[in-house]
Structures are given as C-alpha cells and as structure tokens.
Structure 1
C-alpha cells in the first residue's frame, strides 16, 4: 500500500474504504451481512488500508464499523471518517446530539476526520456558523474528540471555491473521476485545494460502478484490447493515482477479492503511472461515452455567470447523464447539485437574453435546450418533492 500525507504529515492510505455499500444479508432493507463485512474490513487493514469513511445516514454503517474495530482490537490502526448531517441541523444542541450518537455507534471517543456532510452551497455553511459551529469545532478539537475537520461537497466549481475559502479546513471530499473531470468541484477545485495545502479525498471514483458495468461495450472492448490488461476499474483508479493532488481514493468495496484487487492497484500505481498513450485511451473512452450524450456541453463554464442565476453547466451535465447512465442517475445528480441549493438555479429562470450563447465555444443552442433539459430533469413529481425538500433542508 502506498500512502500520502494529510495536512499534518500523517500518512493516509492511497486507497480508502467507503463503508456505504456493504452487502445486506437478505437484500435491500435488511441488516448488513456482518461476517462478510468483517472479513472485508479486516483484509483491507491487513493490506494497509487505514482510512474508513462512513456517515450518519448510511444505514447500519457506523454501528458495523465500530463493532468490527472494537471486537478485533484494531481501532488504533485506522482512521475513522464520518459526517455531521448538517441538512438535519436546526439548533446548536442538535450538533452535539448527532455527534454524541455517532461516537456511541462507532464505539470510540474521537473521530479522526469529521466532515460537514454534503455541502452544496456556501449558505449551508453560513447557517451552521450562525449556530456556533466554529466554536463547537474548536472545543471538540481542544478536547481531542475531533482531529481533523472537513466537508464533503456536491455542487458546482464556483460554489466549491467559496466553501473552500470560508474556513480553515483540514481536508475536503469531492466527487471526481475521468468523466467528472470538469464537473462539480472538478480539476479546478482539486488544484485550488492543493494550492491551500488541503488534502483531497475522492468519492465516486467509478461513478458508483458506472465506469465499469455501464460502460458501452465499445469502450469495454477498447480497454480490453490494450496490452496492459487493465480492467475498466483499474484504468479509472490509475487515472486518479496519477495525480499528486489526490490524497486518498474511496472505494465502496463489498467482497474480499475486490479489496485485494484494489489494494494491489493502490500498491503499484502512483504519480507518473499513466503514459501519453494511456491518457489517449481514456480520451477515446470518454468520446465513446459522449456519443450517447444529449448535448455537447463540455462544462467549460464560459456561459457563466448567468444574469438570472441559472446553473447552465450543471443542467446540461445532468441532462447528459440521464442519457448515458439512466434517468434516475441524472435526476439524482441534479437534485444534489441544483435542487438543494439555497439560491434557486433552475433552467426555468432563463429569460432568453442570449448572453450565454454569445460566449459558448461550442456554439450550443442553450436557450432552446434549457427548457427541454428542465422538463426531463424535473418532471412534476420531482418539482413537488423539490419544493418540500428545499423547505425542510434549507429552512
């Protein structure tokens, strides 16, 4: 296993264990298969994984991780990362209530890496500040109950940069893979964090498996024809490991063979592991995936800012995702990135001023495409649910 240092010089395994996708004993809704999960966690620790990521809202995950670590006496060999469900917080006392419950679930007296979960807008952070989160963090750090503070992010690049600058973070967590290179925080966000010497934890390196199982057959055949013999998963992981700004890559592993294979890659790959030919291969794979896209938006952002606040790149990216990965995937992404933001950014706010089209390098028909994208992304039941969710989550 290879390691890269956190902000304080502590080594983190290049591969982290994402504890959201453990198999359940009898399908969805059932309890996690404890013996199987225990074998996977312990094998990962044996192979050098020392970063385990969970969250308050992952059903059964915190309890299982805490039990495995305690019963096997390995708590001091790993770093636990978990998250405050900031979208559920309505009072200062609630912060302590959720945190204390997480400590009980995890059977520990401290959290090594604690995140504000799923920030999509800097307004959500400001809301926490009004409840005294800065002082709360300072107290928890002074007491040794939190060692590093960070945030996980779903939103656009501009908003990521605002959140990044809003506090002296110890680390951050972003969705990043070769298909999302210029989406959400993107490469620009990754480099901005590195400039501030803020370690970056990567989630969704395989887009929830979509860069493996749901790749077009043409892309799978192209990857298989290469002399390396890499699988689609290894290619995607190597693309991340090749970048020095990446500190740790989370993988939602749910079998011992998967743990062993991913640990092998994390032991062999690193900065400089991809040749120019390998980068060319990835570019060809992206082109193949792009054939099924709805609109040729590259996410460059030249159309922004929209005078009326429409998040044009996110709308088109999620619209494309509906056609490359399925309707539910694109709508879920749009829900996270746009629908839950404090300031509305929907395509329906477009007044057809044309400023975006004047700056678009691809000369896309943005004004005509936005209404169709919005209809696809937000059918009536999504709109109704969105109104309710925004009132609940944003206050």
Structure 2
C-alpha cells in the first residue's frame, strides 16, 4: 500500500481510504448488505494496509459498525475521520445553508461526543463539518467549537467536506490556516479541484481527501443502458436526469482506449488518476463489498500512469455535470 503524509502531523496515510458510507445501506439490497460482511470488508482492507477510514454521523449506523470492526482489529489503529451532521433539514447541495440551522450552538460538541460513543473511541483523528459554505466566512461559533474540541484532545484535526462540485468555494478557509483538511469531489470527469484547490492546500499544509473518485460507480465500466438501480439505492435516477445515459456512456467509452495499456480496468484508471494528482492525501472509495477492496488495492499496485497520460485524462476528458441538481432543483425543470 502506498502512503502519503498527513500535512499537519506527518503521519503516514494510505493513498486508498476506506469510505464507510456503504455501511448506511444506501446502495440498495445486493445480497452483500449485512453487518458481518461489511465488517469483514473493513478488516480485510485494514489487513492489507489501508489505514484511513471515513464515516459520518449522517451515515445511518456506519459509525457503530466501524466501531465494531475496530473492536475486532488487533493491528495498529487506523486514522479515523467522521463528520458532523447537518441539522438544517436541507441537503446543502446547490444553495447555502444557514450555519445557525446546520450547526446550532452546542451541536458540534454534542455530535462529536455521540460519534465517539458510536465509534468506541476516546478521540477521533479528524472531525469534519459535513456542510460548510463560504457565506459563513472563516469564523463563528462553529469554528470556535471545532477549535475547542481540538484543544481538549477529543479531536486531533478539523476540516470540512465541500457540499458540491464547486471546490474553489473552500479557498478562503484553506488560506485562513484554521483547518487541517478538505474533502472534495475529484475524478476524471470532474478534476476541477486540481486547478486551484489542491495547489492552495499544498501551500497551506492542508490535507485533501478525494471522494466520488469513481463518479458513484459510473467510471467503473459496469454501468450500461440496461442497469437498473433499486428505489432504495441513492443512485436511483442518478445517471438519467442531467444528461441522457447514452451520452454519459459515450464519455466512459472514450476512456477505454487507455485500458489495458495503462490500467487493468476502467476503475483502476479512474482510481490511479486521482491518487496520482499532486496534493491528494487519500482517495476514499465505498468498499463495503470485499470485492471492491480487492479491486481497488490491486489497482494501486499497478504501475503509475505516465505523466502525459495523466495530463490527457485531466484536460481531454473533462465532463463536468452535477447529477445532484435534479434532486435539488427538479421541481423547476
């Protein structure tokens, strides 16, 4: 397993991170959705060198299941990151949320303590706000609570998760020096964070946690015109509203020219693209299924992409769209 350094502490972080959103059961029933199989997947990943685990208070029972897995793990404790739940009732995609509604005074502290209880830990390595908007500025009760938790040792590092595809919105907070990490969308189709956010994070010693690296599965090459998602799968309708699915699949097919010369699969190509981007600390992928763990770990054991291929992927294959817009603004269509 390849590692990078967490900028503010220098500790080694696996370039592949375990995304535990899948422990919420949001991917629909697929025969692999059981706590025991999820725990097995996490233990498998830890045993093979993955040492970064990302969960959230909003992910159903995810924190509790991660905690059960950690209780069974006898190796070195991994770097555990979680997120403070947004209480506003608004998803936070597309339009700003009032900080007083998202994180009313005392909520961040209460959320952190509940997370610690669910995880069975005395501290978390990284506490992130699941929602933050630049309209909040860089100070306020929310920042004071985060800093106080850090001073008390209940959290080692603090950060934010950018609510949508506009990664540049976090630049003021990154430049303030007040946070230790940023989580944002980065993939072959949407590499915008590489343009401005990542260079700023490198300059200010801020870790970058890349998410949606496989574009919610669209970049794995398994999506077809006939793929049907169950209604309890959060991807239900996801690939069909902003652009016709046929258009999306055409963009995916254009990437097949790089396989197998530069990657063993489309998924490996997508993952290696993100992991190799300068400034990315770790790339998280939902790995609640053990086969996903095996495939992702194998991808990182492949040779790196040549610099010229990485550049081609970054600039030639941009296909920027926000599939979540339909969920937020659908009534206006």
TM-score normalised according to structure 1 size: 0.66
Select which of 234, 251, 262 maps to 2:296: 262
Select which of 204, 218, 223 maps to 2:253: 218
User: How big is the shift at 1:176?
Assistant: 0.8
Q: Map 1:48-63; keep pairs closer than 5 Å.
A: 48-63=49-64
Alignment-derived partner of residue 240 in structure 1: 274
Q: Map 1:59-138; keep pairs closer than 5 Å.
A: 59-74=60-75, 76-88=76-88, 89=102, 91-119=104-132, 121-124=133-136, 129-130=139-140, 132-138=141-147
Contact 2:128 2:160 in 1 (8 A): yes
Alignment-derived partner of residue 152 in structure 1: 161
Contact 1:171 1:198 in 2 (8 A): yes
User: How big is the shift at 1:242?
Assistant: 2.2
Higher-Rg structure is: 1
Secondary structure of residue in 2 paired with 1:81: strand
Alignment-derived partner of residue 6 in structure 2: 6
Contact 2:42 2:288 in 1 (8 A): no
Structure 1 residues 95, 265: CA separation in 2 closer, same or farther (over 3 Å shift)? same
Cα RMSD for the two superposed structures: 3.0
Secondary structure of residue in 2 paired with 1:115: strand
Secondary structure of residue in 2 paired with 1:235: helix
Structure 1 CA distance for aligned equivalents of residues 59 and 154 of structure 2? 21
Unaligned runs of 5+ in 2: 89-101, 224-248
Per-residue CA deviations over 1:325-353 (Å, capped at 9, x if unaligned) read xxx54424xx4xxxxxxxxxxxxxxxxxx
Secondary structure of residue in 1 paired with 2:299: helix
Contact 1:15 1:249 in 2 (8 A): yes
Per-residue CA deviations over 1:149-199 (Å, capped at 9, x if unaligned) read 1111134244221232345211111111121122xx452111111111211
Runs of 4+ in 1 over 6 A off after TM superposition: none
Unaligned runs of 5+ in 1: 291-316, 322-327, 336-377, 384-395
Q: How many residues align?
A: 291
Structure 1 CA distance for aligned equivalents of residues 27 and 162 of structure 2? 32
User: How big is the shift at 1:61?
Assistant: 0.6
Structure 2 CA distance for aligned equivalents of residues 228 and 179 of structure 1? 18
Per-residue CA deviations over 1:206-257 (Å, capped at 9, x if unaligned) read 1111112344373364344x43452111111111222231110001113222
Alignment-derived partner of residue 331 in structure 1: 326
Secondary structure of residue in 2 paired with 1:141: helix
Structure 1 residues 31, 115: CA separation in 2 closer, same or farther (over 3 Å shift)? farther
Contact 1:25 1:31 in 2 (8 A): no
Alignment-derived partner of residue 209 in structure 1: 217
Per-residue CA deviations over 1:261-294 (Å, capped at 9, x if unaligned) read 2112224455xx324256446766x27xx5xxxx
Structure 2 CA distance for aligned equivalents of residues 158 and 278 of structure 1? 22
